[in-house]
A and B are shown apart, each in its own frame.
Chain A
């Protein structure tokens, strides 16, 4: 069971937006398509929803073991059994929250008792119990997205498509909602494809990850797997790695981490941790600059053989009197770097 997209290409007025994309989404799992804006990820999602006609390739639904693939490539949007949630929710402004959520149920002519029950249930699931009589204009951005999610789930879709569901929200809310979203999707057990440019959002919500660039899916797999082994330097940087060291520059860092030589290594900001004064472990470097953020002290070091790298001070904070030009030592955390 699940979604199967094969060699899909979509273009706008002859300009290719998606080129030969293939995706597998097993039933019950959540796939995040991650990529910078303009990479074609939203187009891919719209094509899966049936809102953009593909130039080539197929979109299919794997019904189950031995039951073959249902070809949906030419099936109109409303017959696919998918639900698409837009970036800004697209609640119908003239309907109350309750009627918005009940909309897909009305389309299926569900009896009114059933509609009421399901609407209440879904609003409770997204944490908006008692909101049924409100109008969408009276809601905050986060509440609107929750209603849109409840409405999409009311369609009882076999596949839920989320287009940047949290991007329109501010940072704090986004973080909280990402966790909620993951829990809601788990609870509903719905197969989901989520499109986002925010790697933290993808990491928080999805169990599978597909990275897209210039209309091409460059890598996909289990979230942790993609995280550990980015396909190339650009992918690593997009996944939130602070710096990629290539060639000879990678060697001293890899050695300090106890790893064998490789062509490149991607470092998270926290891969190098400032060692206590007097320690002889790890790498030696000279402080190029440093600044304090609310969570930690961030340094840029010049490490012989590797060049400039990022580091953070340990839990005990920066040593007193730290100054630019000081010689310090850092330990390398092998869990915070990826061999490319």
Chain B
């Protein structure tokens, strides 16, 4: 064996070793359940029956559901981009007091539990709510508004990060050649931002098209998207075949979309020097974006304010009764909806989130390391980008499919994991994994390989080089990603609703159960629990925002 091939072998062996654990986890807890779920739908009696799939897909209701999903997601994406661009500009190119706070506030909706967002919008729009006059309660418009509320942060963050790092010299060069502000905008800035905008839009579309909690809580059973339809078919109608068929369609659409967005994703070339413009004070010409940003802020604050106010009103008077009821034994409180006090559920949520966090950060770090190692050959590069895409899959696969697949495949021998307390955290870790990977990959990729080579040439071992070169830039994003994963885990509803045992619920599950039961107290408790959950996630995100992680939530 020559030296060259032995080096290659060693490189491949290292890569394989790094990828082994994430691949095993992904295979066992994601691919297997999803495959099990799909298999169960496609071969109901052990025989492949493609005709049945076609039958499901040609049902008029399926057509309506798919159409509804497509147009709400498209509209939600367009509105999120239109509102997000001016806000990205204001929050990343202008300088004003309180900028950091506004940025953090705009990020909060993205990590708010979907159930909480649904409740907040319902509260705002329902009869007797502050915006009842708009007559939007339970309408598709309300669903789209919920989707926009949820996703505008994605546009602001990822386009903002690109905008902030935009080299100012091409724009100056254009101005020095006689281009006016609008000509600079169209000929220089727009082409430079286009990849970031397109990739943010494709991710937002993905989030909108697979949204579960928001659609379920606001739309109820009247308006179903593919995601909620899978849930209804699975949990209520027990039509697994139809659910599997829809899951399959969704999976294919998501893979196609991921491929497109991966192609559009660009990482900054670390070897290119950039001259980045310092943020400047707002000028008269910035009036329009500033006003739009203020409106977005208002629109984001309104549902949250409605939620807080609603949780403090009992029988038309201010009261903390709803909060007090959270700690009460369900028997005393009179609500038969729950088996344990909500405070117990909160403890469950926190414990689960801690477990999910370390799991997703560990896996995410390994995946990011594998994906960003420099490839020596075309084939190697292809393998890496394939891995990159593979770990993005949980982003788009219905959490409901995942949750139900867990039940189907892991609930019986040989994998009797149904009652394992780590099942819920593992599922949540997989849901958070793409976010962790996407936070860490740009950072690792932006480390100039020559810095590592310089360290090596000065006698540093690979581990020392890692300490000297990677760690200083990585620790903040790592903490940020952990906070992100923690917040996502706290709010995860789709998969958890299937997996959490009734005597060990998490807070989002409890909220949904409270909403499904009649009674003023149950509703009040749902609101109070939502506030507690929102405050916890917001607190985590505010702490993370203080770290100023550049690529947090950047796609």
A residues near B (Cβ < 8 Å) are: 49-51, 76-79, 81-84, 86, 90, 92, 94, 103-104, 107-108, 151-152, 154-155, 161
Contact = CB atoms under 8 A, between A and B. Distances in A.
Nearest to A82: B176
B170 A77 contact: no
B52 interface: no
Nearest to B175: A77
A145 to B, nearest CB: 13
Given A103-B177, A155-B178, A86 B169 contact: yes
Given A90-B169, A92-B188, A83 B176 contact: yes
Interface stretch (B75-83, B158-166, B179-187): B179-187
A108 B177 CA distance: 10
Contacts of A50: 175-176
Contacts of B170: 90, 92
Contacts of B369: none
Contacts of A83: 176-178
B190 to A, nearest CB: 11
A92 B177 CA distance: 12
Q: Which 8 A-B pairs have the closest CB atoms?
A: A84-B176, A90-B173, A77-B175, A104-B177, A155-B177, A78-B175, A90-B169, A78-B180
Given A92-B191, A154-B177, 19 more contacts: A49-B172, A50-B175, A51-B172, A51-B175, A78-B184, A83-B176, A84-B172, A84-B176, A86-B173, A90-B172, A90-B173, A92-B188, A103-B177, A103-B179, A104-B177, A107-B178, A107-B179, A152-B176, A152-B177
* Residue from the set B174, B178, B187 with the largest chain A CB neighbour count within 10 Å: B178
Secondary structure of the A side of the interface?
mixed
A192 B379 CA distance: 51
B178 A108 contact: yes
A236 to B, nearest CB: 33
B169 A78 contact: no
B434 to A, nearest CB: 29
A84 B168 CA distance: 14
Contacts of B173: 84, 86, 90, 92
B493 to A, nearest CB: 43
B177 A107 contact: yes
B178 A78 contact: yes
29 contacts: A49-B172, A50-B175, A51-B172, A76-B175, A77-B175, A81-B178, A83-B177, A83-B178, A84-B172, A84-B173, A84-B176, A86-B169, A90-B170, A90-B173, A92-B170, A92-B173, A92-B188, A94-B191, A103-B174, A103-B177, A103-B187, A104-B177, A107-B177, A107-B178, A108-B178, A151-B177, A154-B177, A155-B177, A161-B176
Given A90-B170, A94-B191, A103-B187, A49 B178 contact: no
B300 to A, nearest CB: 33
Given A51-B172, A51-B175, A51-B176, A107 B183 contact: yes
A92 B181 CA distance: 17
Contacts of A103: 174, 177, 179, 187
B169 A104 contact: no
Nearest to B194: A94
Nearest to B168: A51
Contacts of B188: 92
Contacts of B187: 92, 103
A161 B177 CA distance: 11
Nearest to B167: A90
A41 to B, nearest CB: 17
A337 B183 CA distance: 52
Sorting the interface of chain B by its residue count into under 10, 10 to 19, 20 to 34 or 35 or more gives: 10 to 19
Contacts of A49: 172, 176
A51 B175 CA distance: 9
Nearest to A84: B176
Contacts of B174: 92, 103
Contacts of A161: 176
Contacts of B180: 78-79
A156 to B, nearest CB: 9
A51 B187 CA distance: 18
Contacts of A81: 178
A82 B179 CA distance: 11
A81 B176 CA distance: 8
B100 to A, nearest CB: 20
A104 B178 contact: yes
A161 B173 CA distance: 11
Contacts of A155: 177-178
A79 B180 CA distance: 8
* Residue from the set A51, A81, A154, A161 with the largest chain B CB neighbour count within 10 Å: A51
Contacts of A151: 177
A49 B176 CA distance: 7
A81 B179 CA distance: 10
Contacts of B184: 78
Contacts of A78: 175-181, 183-184
Interface in B458-475: none
Contacts of A77: 172, 175-176
Nearest to B184: A78
Contacts of A154: 177
B483 to A, nearest CB: 33
B546 to A, nearest CB: 24
A38 to B, nearest CB: 16
A92 B183 CA distance: 14
A161 B178 CA distance: 13
Contacts of A79: 180
A103 B173 CA distance: 11
A2 B172 CA distance: 23
Contacts of A152: 176-177
Nearest to A87: B169
A95 to B, nearest CB: 9
Contacts of A108: 178
Nearest to B173: A90
A116 B176 CA distance: 21
B39 to A, nearest CB: 47
Contacts of B176: 49-51, 77-78, 82-84, 152, 161
Nearest to B172: A51
A45 to B, nearest CB: 10
Nearest to B188: A92
A103 B174 CA distance: 8
A76 B175 CA distance: 9
B286 to A, nearest CB: 15
Interface in B184-215: 184, 187-188, 191
B478 to A, nearest CB: 32
A150 B358 CA distance: 57
Contacts of B172: 49, 51, 77, 84, 86, 90
B45 to A, nearest CB: 56
Contacts of A82: 176
B135 to A, nearest CB: 47
Interface in B122-178: 169-170, 172-178
A155 B188 CA distance: 17
A168 B178 CA distance: 25
Nearest to A154: B177
B278 to A, nearest CB: 9
A130 B344 CA distance: 75
A287 B454 CA distance: 42
A323 B95 CA distance: 68
Nearest to A46: B172
Contacts of B178: 78, 81, 83, 104, 107-108, 155
Contacts of A76: 175
A103 B183 CA distance: 11
A76 B184 CA distance: 13
